């Protein structure tokens, strides 16, 4: 459907007394600006009729000529919102004709069946956009919301330009191919190029934080044989740096297109990328991009919820599905051509019970090709039940505390930190042992409270009832505290700190302070990549090399007790991966394994081949495969 056909289709359905002022294309969605929005609301089904007619997401806004001045509108809006809503801030965005309302209880701002929102737009003309306030202060949420508002004009120009490109007539799609640019037969720098005759889509763009070797740290973008300007879109599955960490680099070197991800992924991604810059610069390695590139990236992000079908080019549409891995993590279902081929990119999935999330989805409209992660796809990768893991973790902590030692738990700040916090909040709520949180863990937890709808129902309910498990007094922030003082104090404690693989950051700093004392314990609760310091220590090495601040190599002796508690990982183990594939509906025609050590990818591919009797393969980086 071109722009002229779009206009004609809307005119057929929209009553004349709505006084349509203009139609704007904002990326994949269509915005109707009306002078008489009250007439539109006379038919409750009108927006559904238009959306089904044009098969696009529809947004309604009032024309600028009928907006109340912000001062008058603000007074009215405050009178419409119930007192208990906990409104934190109200700001007006005249570029999009929206009013942004940040509140602790968005449900009260919305009202039953949206009655308060409807009243606001009818009485003031401003389209309300409700934002949930975090239950504890979050600098990253504040910065993101401020940046998006301050850069509204640039963002609107970008969305309008993108919308015109997306509404060009599609041509026949007669082939589809994928090229592995990173994360195949390895963990780290995940990146996949999907191509058709007229579309070039990048799925993830990560980096490997566990190596300083540039030949292994970054995706093989030069193998695309494309200029970055030729990319139509990037889809990011989740925020972890091995999937999103190299994305700002694209913007530094010429990419100017959209980035699609879920709302939590956007916020967590910015948090982790900024931390990545700080860590790399502090270690003297230098970051491959700067904060201005992250800011530019932010203006190009288009968020989509689970289950929301979105056109990405005239011949490709995609849908996010819950992956169960971390907050906002998604599997990507791509519908290519007019039903010519359907591909599911699993990225990282958890098809098992956790305290934070529901298991990964298994129902899709169609699947011809499945790209499946294999982090724990090896024949021996069977993990214990969650209850056993929790008991083992608590036992190690209690024994360490009894001998007056300290427990260091290296974690990924997003996902594992919150999972461990939920366990400790349940078993150690008496507060007798202080639990210190260092690095980004508190900030990431605050972001979790902004998006409770992505969490398991019991955690979601607690946050909505102002009983967030992440805000309990047993958790003490390390902000403003001296690590050496905590490490050298005589009192036992638990320390939760990123990075999870001891590749840098607070966990490595605490390791240096605690490693020599046999009373202390180091507990691994997440995946340790083959090149990481964590894997060396986990493998039993009692002396490991470290680069000092003066860029000299020195040996660190590991005298502390080292334990691994498997089962907390956000990745599925082998049995869960096989159960996921068995439960997929419909059954995929082809399965390609990725995101795992070489042997694990091969073993999982062979097992699925025998189990499903379908074509399977474990591609290498730089392999190109024609799917159709």
Q: Give CA–CA dist 346/361, Å, rounded.
A: 10
Same domain (yes/no): 435, 419: yes
What's 458's domain CATH number?
A: 3.40.50.10890
> Is omega for the bond preceding 533 within 30 degrees of 0, making it cis?
no
Q: Is residue 175 situated within a structural domain? A: yes
Domain interval for residue 609: 169-380+571-626
Look up residue 527 and give its two tokens: 């995946």
CB 357 within 8 A of CB 350: yes
Same domain (yes/no): 214, 339: yes
Residue 302 pLDDT level (bands cut at 50, 70, 90)? very high
Same domain (yes/no): 268, 350: yes
| 475-477 and 341-345 strand pairing | unpaired
Q: What share of the chain has pLDDT > 70, as a percent?
A: 98
Q: Which of 180, 184, 320 is nearest to 264 (CA)?
A: 320
Q: Which of 226, 246, 225 is nearest to 236 (CA)?
A: 246
Residue 347 pLDDT level (bands cut at 50, 70, 90)? very high
Q: Give CA–CA dist 83/76, Å, rounded.
A: 13
CA angle 359, 363, 366 (to 5 degrees): 145
What's 88's domain CATH number?
A: 3.30.300.20
Q: Is residue 77 situated within a structural domain? A: no
- Global pTM reads 0.93
Same domain (yes/no): 443, 469: yes
pLDDT digits (tens, 9 = 90+) for 152-203: 999 999 999 999 888 777 777 889 999 999 999 999 999 999 999 999 999 9
Q: Is residue 387 situated within a structural domain? A: no
Same domain (yes/no): 226, 180: yes
Same domain (yes/no): 158, 173: no
pLDDT digits (tens, 9 = 90+) for 224-252: 999 999 999 999 999 999 999 999 999 99
Residue 280 pLDDT exceeds 90: no
Residue 294 pLDDT exceeds 70: yes
Q: Is residue 386 situated within a structural domain? A: no
Last residue of a domain, which of 564, 597, 616? 564
Same domain (yes/no): 188, 335: yes
123 Cβ contact list (under 8 Å, min separation 6): 68, 76, 80
pLDDT digits (tens, 9 = 90+) for 382-395: 989 889 999 999 99
12 Cβ contact list (under 8 Å, min separation 6): 53
pLDDT digits (tens, 9 = 90+) for 483-514: 999 999 999 999 999 988 888 889 999 999 99
Q: Is residue 393 situated within a structural domain? A: no
Q: Is residue 44 situated within a structural domain? A: yes
Radius of gyration of the chain (CA): 25
Task: Give the mean pLDDT of 93-109.
Answer: 97
What is the predicted pLDDT for the residue at 241?
Answer: 94
What's 19's domain CATH number?
A: 3.30.300.230
What is the predicted pLDDT for the residue at 549?
Answer: 63
Q: Give CA–CA dist 509/285, Å, rounded.
A: 17
Average pLDDT over all residues of the chain: 93
Q: Which of 277, 427, 319, 365 is nearest to 584 (CA)?
A: 365
Q: Is residue 391 situated within a structural domain? A: no
CA angle 148, 326, 615 (to 5 degrees): 115
- H or E segment and range at residue 169: none
What's 611's domain CATH number?
A: 3.60.15.10
Same domain (yes/no): 220, 123: no
Same domain (yes/no): 202, 350: yes
Say which residue the tokens 């893991």 belong to: 389
Same domain (yes/no): 526, 549: yes
Same domain (yes/no): 548, 591: no
Q: What share of the chain has pLDDT > 90, as a percent?
A: 81
Same domain (yes/no): 176, 266: yes
Q: Is residue 477 situated within a structural domain? A: yes
Count of domains in the chain? 4
């Amino acid at each position: 459907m071109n722009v002229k056909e779009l206009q004609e289709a809307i005119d057929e359905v929209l009553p004349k007394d709505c006084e349509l002022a203009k139609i704007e294309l904002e990326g994949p969605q269509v915005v109707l600006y009306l002078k008489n929005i009250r007439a539109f609301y006379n038919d409750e089904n009108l927006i559904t009729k238009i959306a089904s007619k044009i098969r696009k997401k529809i947004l309604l806004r009032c024309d600028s000529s009928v907006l109340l001045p912000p001062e008058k509108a603000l007074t009215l809006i405050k009178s419409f919102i119930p007192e208990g809503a906990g409104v934190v801030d109200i700001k007006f965005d005249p570029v999009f004709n929206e009013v942004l309302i940040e509140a602790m209880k968005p449900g009260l701002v919305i009202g039953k069946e949206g009655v308060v929102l409807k009243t606001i737009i009818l009485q003031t003309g401003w389209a309300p956009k409700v934002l949930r306030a975090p239950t504890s202060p979050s600098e990253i949420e504040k910065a993101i919301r401020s940046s998006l508002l301050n850069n509204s004009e640039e963002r609107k120009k970008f969305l309008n330009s993108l919308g015109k490109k997306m509404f060009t007539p599609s041509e026949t799609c007669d082939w589809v191919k994928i090229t592995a640019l990173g994360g195949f037969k390895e963990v780290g720098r995940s990146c996949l190029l999907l191509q058709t005759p007229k579309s070039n889509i990048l799925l993830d763009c990560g980096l490997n934080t566990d190596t300083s070797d540039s030949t292994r740290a970054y995706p093989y973008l030069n193998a695309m044989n494309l200029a970055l300007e030729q990319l139509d879109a990037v889809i990011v599955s989740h925020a972890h740096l091995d999937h999103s960490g190299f994305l700002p680099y694209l913007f530094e070197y010429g990419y100017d297109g959209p980035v699609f991800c879920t709302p939590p992924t956007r916020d967590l991604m910015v948090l982790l990328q900024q931390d990545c810059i700080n860590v790399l610069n502090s270690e003297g390695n230098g970051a491959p991009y700067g904060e201005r590139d992250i800011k530019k990236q932010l203006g190009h992000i288009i968020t989509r919820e689970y289950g929301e079908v979105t056109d990405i080019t005239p011949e490709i549409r995609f849908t996010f599905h819950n992956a169960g891995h971390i907050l906002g993590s998604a599997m990507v279902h791509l519908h290519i051509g007019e039903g010519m081929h359907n591909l599911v990119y699993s990225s990282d999935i958890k098809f098992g019970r956790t305290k934070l999330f529901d298991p990964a989805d298994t129902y899709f409209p169609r699947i011809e090709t499945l790209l499946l992660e294999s982090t724990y796809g090896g024949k021996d990768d069977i993990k214990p039940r969650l209850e056993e893991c929790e008991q083992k973790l608590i036992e190690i902590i209690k024994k360490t505390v009894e001998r007056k030692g300290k427990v260091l738990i290296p974690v990924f700040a997003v996902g594992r930190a919150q999972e461990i916090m939920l366990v400790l909040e349940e078993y150690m709520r008496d507060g007798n042992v202080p639990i210190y949180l260092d690095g980004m863990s508190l900030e990431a937890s605050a972001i979790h409270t902004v998006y409770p709808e992505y969490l398991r129902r019991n955690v979601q309910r607690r946050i909505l009832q102002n009983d967030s498990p992440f805000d309990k007094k047993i958790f003490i922030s390390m902000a403003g505290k001296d690590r050496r003082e905590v490490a050298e104090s005589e009192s036992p404690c638990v320390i939760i700190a990123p990075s999870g693989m001891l590749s840098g950051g607070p966990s490595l700093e605490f390791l240096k302070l605690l490693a020599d004392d046999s009373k202390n314990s180091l507990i691994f609760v997440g995946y340790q990549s083959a090149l990481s310091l964590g894997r060396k220590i986990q493998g039993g090495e009692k002396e490991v090399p470290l680069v000092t601040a003066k860029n000299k190599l020195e040996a660190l002796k590991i005298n502390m007790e080292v334990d691994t508690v498997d089962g907390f990982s956000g990745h599925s183990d082998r049995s869960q991966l096989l159960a996921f594939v068995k439960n997929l509906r419909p059954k995929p025609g082809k399965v390609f394994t990725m995101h795992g050590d070489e042997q694990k990818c091969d073993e999982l591919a062979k097992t699925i081949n025998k189990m499903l009797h379908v074509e399977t393969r474990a591609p290498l980086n730089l392999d190109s495969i024609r799917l159709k």
